[in-house]
Amino acid sequence: MSAAIRVQGLVKEYRQVRALDGIDLEIRQGEFFGLLGPNGAGKTTLISILAGLTRATHGTAEVMGFDVVRDYRASRLALGVVPQELVYDPFFTARETLRLQSGYFGIHRNDDWIDYILHHLGLTEHADKNMRALSGGMKRRVLVAQALVHKPPVIVLDEPTAGVDVDLRQTLWTFIQSLNREGHTVVLTTHYLEEAETLCERIAMLKQGRLVALDSTRNLLSRRHEQQARLKLNRVPPVEIGLKPGPDETWLYGFETFSQLESMLASIRMAGLEIREMQLIEPDLEDVFTEIIRAS
Amino acid sequence: MLPISGFPTLLYKELLRFWKVSFQTVLAPVVTAMLYLLIFSHVLEEHVEAYPGVSYTAFLVPGLIMMSMLQNAFANSSSSLIQSKITGNIIFVLVAPLSYLEFFAAYMLASVIRGVVVGIGVGLVTVWFADLPLVHPVWLVFFTALSTGILAALGIIAGMWAEKFDQLAAFQNFLIMPLTFLSGVFYSIHSLPAFWQAASHWNPVFYMIDGFRWGFFGLSDIPPATSLLVVTVCFVAISGFTLLLLKRGYKLRH
Ligand SMILES: Nc1ncnc2c1ncn2[C@@H]1O[C@H](COP(=O)(O)OP(=O)(O)O)[C@@H](O)[C@H]1O
Ligand SMILES: [Mg+2]
């Protein structure tokens, strides 16, 4: 079985910038995959090359085994991209937009499927409004719908929830997850790391056009061994104990083994302090992300 | 499911785009042509006889029809492309499995159709002012198709090249307008000084208009076969160049 996406030695140079600096990446069919990285890391550039919007300087990219340049028809039929920018054609209504998009893909009687996606994205009552009259969130939904008109096996969403209300995020993820369960491969870039953490099975991190991490979400999370204890005390603890001030008059303690935690608690008791509250904080993707990006 | 081509949809979209605003894209140029006819024929009717036995107004009508067709064929592809580029919705077409040939054909054909629709409009309102014979209708079809095709292709080039509306306006004002105005729409080049007569022979639009006029009157400044040859060569060359740019994704696929 071919990979959903395979990228080899991908380099993209703009005049002064090396937006992609040799990327090798393989995403399996059926995966829910996260592509993370700070602004300017090259995420959008990578997606644009897959979609044929941009041409690579070196290297190759394939979607479902089809080269994006040589077999562009097959690769584009296999790919649905939700672009990062909120673009639309002000000449048309939402439904016209979807019918046209469907037609560009050579599918001329597609109203059942179009109605289905309109319904699942909560667009049915807005379907016959002009695109100009729709709110930003609604326009974003239409962009998602447009990417799905040809039932692509691979769906790529470039920051689909940036600046979008909670309601849409909920609707969107429910629908995208159901598509993923039906076998569609989903690739997601997002700034909301908790979103990636809950949705994605595997995650790649990009920085300055290079791949700096590629692992399952679980492995990435366990990569960071340090846990944190957050305490509320009756007064300021002596410096030797090693507590750092946290938010809301709390004190933070980082540890890797529980015996470290025990000795810290013993020191607190010896100093005659009283613990009023204590919480253990699991590391999240945010910490891992910050650590990897800083280290690389 | 074997997908059919996306070409008919792209063509349909391009037609819909101008038809939805036909007030500006069809009616306005018809009114403009009408005004030209009223003013110029009023001023010059008594003074100019371009061809023996042909009134100045009758002489003017084919030129106005052709000029309107050319300007609108150019305006259609160029403004559609630059609008899509600036608003960003060009990506909807670029992510689709359309070849550069299909892309070219859709934009060209839609622009040719807009040109022809405007031409028919101009013809319908101006025909009341002059007796127009129709000596070689088939030649009219050839000259119309090839000439609007050339301007449609130029519009595609301009739309790809321009990044802002004022760059497109410059292309239009400094290339398209002079070429169409200085082409014998309003006069026969035999009435020009020798230098401008010679200069006109370097303007392809001159051959388009002269050939088109021959279709009506059977009279022309240049043998019609020569005009047809010039126009055909221009069409092939400019289309070829446009296709080359599209194939490379010039300013479309970065
Ligand atoms: N069309 C372009 N011309 C020049 N530089 C570009 C262009 N597109 C992107 N870049 C540069 O490439 C780098 C990667 O950008 P991008 O892929 O948009 O990053 P991300 O999506 O991860 O934020 C950035 O430095 C950006 O400025
Ligand atoms: Mg981006």
* pLDDT < 50: residue spans in chain B: 1-2
* Superfamily per CATH, domain A1-78+152-222: P-loop containing nucleotide triphosphate hydrolases (3.40.50.300)
Ligand 1 lined by A44 (C-beta under 6 Å)? yes
Tell me, yes or no, whether B2 lies in a domain.
no
Which protein residue's CA is at the shortest distance from atom 6 of ligand 1?
A14
Which residues constitute the domain of residue B51?
A: 8-248
Which protein residue's CA is at the shortest distance from atom 18 of ligand 1?
A44
Tell me, yes or no, whether B1 lies in a domain.
no
- Measure the CA–CA gap between B244 and A270, rounded to whole angstroms: 82
pLDDT tens figures, B97-151? 999 999 999 999 999 999 999 999 999 999 888 888 999 999 999 999 999 999 9
Ligand nearest to the CA of A46: 1
Tell me, yes or no, whether B3 lies in a domain.
no
Instruction: Report every protein residue that has its C-beta within 5 angstroms of ion ligand 2.
Output: A 43-44, 84
When the pLDDT of each residue in chain A is averaged and rounded to a whole number, the result is 92
pLDDT tens figures, A83-129? 999 999 999 999 999 999 999 999 989 999 999 999 999 999 999 99
Tell me, yes or no, whether B254 lies in a domain.
no
When the pLDDT of each residue in chain B is averaged and rounded to a whole number, the result is 93
Taking the C-alpha atoms of A134, A138, A143 and A149 in order, what is their torsion angle to the nearest 10 degrees? -100
Residue B9 has its nearest CB partner, among A48, A87, A100, at A100
Tell me, yes or no, whether B253 lies in a domain.
no
pLDDT tens figures, A146-175? 999 999 999 999 999 877 788 888 889 999
Chain A residues whose beta carbon lies within 8 Å of the beta carbon of residue B1: 107
* Cβ–Cβ below 8 Å for A76 and B96: yes
Ligand nearest to the CA of A13: 1
CATH code reported for the domain at A224-284? 3.30.70
Which protein residue's CA is at the shortest distance from atom 16 of ligand 1?
A42
Which of A13, A44, A189 should be mutated for ligand 1, with most atoms under 8 A from CB?
A: A44
Q: Provide the number of CB pairs (under 8 Å) joining chain A to chain B.
A: 83
Residue A51 contacts B, CB cutoff 8 Å: yes
Structure confidence at residue A59 as a pLDDT band (50, 70, 90):
very high
Q: How far is CA A281 from the centre of its chain?
A: 23
DSSP A130: B
Residue A192, C-beta contacts closer than 8 angstroms, at least 6 positions apart: A161
Pairing assessment for the beta strands A32-36 and A185-189 based on DSSP bridges: parallel
Tell me, yes or no, whether B194 lies in a domain.
yes
Tell me, yes or no, whether B102 lies in a domain.
yes
**What is the residue extent of each domain of chain A?**
1-78+152-222, 90-151, 224-284
Q: Work out how many domains chain B is built from and give that number.
A: 1
Structure confidence at residue A225 as a pLDDT band (50, 70, 90):
low
Ligand 1 lined by A152 (C-beta under 6 Å)? no
Chain B nearest-CA distance from A158, in A, is 14
Residue range A176-187: mean pLDDT, rounded: 97
Question: Looking up tokens 């292309």, which residue turns up?
Answer: B171
* Cβ–Cβ below 8 Å for A104 and B10: yes
Of A252 and A27, the one with more pLDDT: A27
Residue A77 contacts B, CB cutoff 8 Å: yes
Residue B62, C-beta contacts closer than 8 angstroms, at least 6 positions apart: B132, B209, B212, B213, B215, B216, B217
Label residue B32 exposed, middle or buried (CB < 10 Å: 0-12, 13-18, 19+): middle
**pLDDT at residue B68, as a whole number:** 96
- Measure the CA–CA gap between A278 and A232, rounded to whole angstroms: 6
Ligand 1 lined by A45 (C-beta under 6 Å)? yes
Residue ranges of chain B whose CB lies within 8 Å of a chain A CB? 1, 3-6, 8-10, 12-13, 16-17, 20, 84, 87-89, 91-99, 249, 253-254
Which protein residue's CA is at the shortest distance from atom 10 of ligand 1?
A19
Tell me, yes or no, whether B191 lies in a domain.
yes
DSSP B172: I
